[in-house]
Structure 1
Amino acid sequence: MDELVKKLIKKYKTNCPFELCRALGIHVRFMNLGEGTKGLYYRKLRRRFIVIHNELSLEWQRFVCAHELGHDRLHKGINRFFLEESSYFAPGKLERQANRFAVLLLTAAASPEQDESLESYYSRLGIPPEVGFFLEP
């Protein structure tokens, strides 16, 4: 997965998930998805879509876009929902992979400073601090 992220960034010269989606032809839309759903990814008639809950903070919108982009890159042909309830407590393998992809993508441009906490590192990069729950030990 590290190589996949590195290749994407190198090819498109950005780690911004919104710019990557634009370059890859993935349509990003914002709408009210109701309580508990932060975003979703789906394919319809060979077109790819990411829908992000429009009431999320900007940092969460960015993370969700990166997460759903992870589904596009890692889980071809599978439509997945990023549900708050299942993601926080018992994410399945595909969700954990998409979360890891998102963190790798969003942290690719910087490294933690010496003695910097994970929470501070994420905050500096505009990543929601709760994301630490998403990483595999």
Structure 2
Amino acid sequence: MKELIHKLVRKYRTNCPFDIAKALGIHIRYCDLGSTTKGLYYHKLRRKFIVIHDGLTPEWRRFVCAHELGHDRLHKGISRFFIEEHSYFSPGKFEQQANRFAVLLLSEGKPPLADETLEHYLPRIGLPKETALFFDHKTEH
């Protein structure tokens, strides 16, 4: 997964999930998805879409976009929903992979400072503090 992300960032010269999605021809839409769904990824008639809940903070919108981009890159042909309940308490394999993809993409090229805690690192790179749950503490950047 790290190599895939490194290639994406190198090819598009950014780790911004919105810019990468645009370059890949993925349409981004915003709407009210209710209280438990943060985002979804689907494709219809050869068009790909990421839909992000419009009530999220900018940090969460960025994370959700990266998460849904992860589904596009990792889970070809499968439409997915980023449902808060399942993501926080018992995420399935695809959700875990998409969360990991998002964290790796958004932290690409921005390693933690020496002795920096996740509590300080995540806001510094624009990630919501709750995403610490998805962060593999053993992974080096």
TM exceeds 0.5? yes
Q: Shift of the alpha carbon at 1:133? A: 1.1
Spell out the pairing of 1:1-137 with structure 2 (5 A cutoff).
1-135=1-135
Q: Distance in 2 between matches of 1:136 and 1:86?
A: 19
Q: Distance in 2 between matches of 1:118 and 1:133?
A: 10
Q: Deviations over 1:46-77 (max 9, x none)?
A: 10000000000000000000000000000000
Identity rate, percent: 64
Is residue 96–residue 135 contact of structure 1 (8 Å, CA) maintained in 2?
no
Q: Shift of the alpha carbon at 1:134? A: 2.1
Residue 27 of structure 2: SS of its match in structure 1? Answer: strand
The runs of 5 or more residues in structure 1 that have no matched partner are none
Q: Distance in 2 between matches of 1:111 and 1:104?
A: 10
Residue 8 of structure 1: SS of its match in structure 2? Answer: helix
Alpha-carbon spacing, 1:66–1:74, altered in 2? closer, same or farther (3 Å): same
Residue 14 of structure 1: SS of its match in structure 2? Answer: coil
Residue 78 of structure 2: SS of its match in structure 1? Answer: coil
Q: Distance in 2 between matches of 1:13 and 1:115?
A: 28
Q: Shift of the alpha carbon at 1:136? A: 5.3
The alignment covers a number of residue pairs equal to: 137
For the aligned residues, what is the CA RMSD? Answer: 0.9
The runs of 5 or more residues in structure 2 that have no matched partner are none
